[in-house]
Amino acid sequence: MTTSGNREVLLKVENLNANYGQIQALRNISFEVAKGEVAVILGANGAGKTTTLRSVCNMPVVSSSGSVTLDGKEINKSDTGDIVSRGVAHIPQGRGTFPELSVVDNLEVGGYVRKDSLDSDIDKYFEMFPRLAERKDQLAGSLSGGEQQMLAVARALMSRPELLLLDEPSLGLAPLIIEDLFKTFGALNKEEGVTMLLVEQNANLALGIAHHGYVLEAGEIVLQGPAEQLQNDSSIQDAYLGA
């Protein structure tokens, strides 16, 4: 187990480079996510946020090099499916549900890797997201954008992941729904100890629930620090907090 100070490191990424053919999308980035914490990667459109999460999961669309370890074990040579079964749940940007399945079937599929009964978790997430409970037999594809995002989160959590990767969960949602969703993320982290790597453009909300933050610009990490420090950083204020 790797430790950093007295924090236990769950995900450690070192000197990660990522390419789409000739296009280099990430240049030698390094970051880590401590167990039980929320780390956020902030960055503008095209900065490389989605590519970072794809590289962590070793998705075939991108070719990456560098070191990625989960709980001290190298995962960057593993297949995406193996990485998922080691406890990494990825909610891709703007997706993450099976549109042709009902809400409740989506949750069951999310828990397929588990052998125990799923009922108590399904009840738990219906309590957390009452809108989903009211629509449990509706097809996921016919839910609103916010409801689909809630379902994507609940579905990912059904596998009881070690690490939840969230790609811009606030995208396209109304401000009140975003606030609710982030409150839920904060509670999941604080009360259930879910470790998260969140990529976002919504710096204020993301830093509000994060412990540590990184700023990605054109494929490079240009700034990093504890979340409170970044919240007070004038360059972040100018670029992302609308100051």
Ligand X SMILES: Nc1ncnc2c1ncn2[C@@H]1O[C@H](COP(=O)(O)OP(=O)(O)OP(=O)(O)O)[C@@H](O)[C@H]1O
Least separation in angstroms between residue 216's CB and ligand X is: 7
Least separation in angstroms between residue 44's CB and ligand X is: 7
Q: Closer CB to ligand X, residue 138 or residue 201?
A: 201
Taking each helix axis as running N to C, give the angle between helix 145-157 and helix 103-110, from 0 to 180 degrees, rounded to the nearest 10.
30
Q: Closer CB to ligand X, residue 71 or residue 220?
A: 220
Indicate which single residue of 50, 58, 148, 195 sits in contact with Mg ion (rule: CB under 5 A): 50
The window from 55-63, 86-94, 97-105, 152-160 that contacts Mg ion (CB under 5 A) reads 86-94
Residues 151, 142: contact at Cβ < 8 Å?
no
CA R_g for the chain? 17
Residues near ligand X (CB under 6 A) are 20, 23, 25, 43, 45-51, 61, 93, 201
Residues 196 and 161: their CA atoms lie apart, in Å, by: 10
Residues 26, 17: contact at Cβ < 8 Å?
yes
The window from 29-37, 49-57, 105-113, 126-134 that contacts Mg ion (CB under 5 A) reads 49-57
Residues 134 and 130: their CA atoms lie apart, in Å, by: 6
Task: Note whether 97 binds Mg ion by CB under 5 A.
Answer: no
Residue 185's alpha-carbon distances to 51, 77, 195, 208, 241, in angstroms, are 22, 30, 10, 11, 20
Q: Closer CB to Mg ion, residue 91 or residue 236?
A: 91
Least separation in angstroms between residue 91's CB and Mg ion is: 12
161 binds, among Mg ion, ligand X, none (CB under 5 to 8 A by kind): none
Residue nearest to Mg ion (CB): 50
Residues 107 and 216: their CA atoms lie apart, in Å, by: 33
Helix, strand and coil in the chain, % to nearest 5: 35, 30, 35
Using DSSP, state whether 95 is helix, strand or coil. Answer: coil
Least separation in angstroms between residue 13's CB and ligand X is: 14
Q: Closer CB to Mg ion, residue 91 or residue 158?
A: 91
Q: Closer CB to Mg ion, residue 12 or residue 49?
A: 49
Q: Provide the binding-site residues for Mg ion, judged by CB under 5 A.
A: 49-50, 93
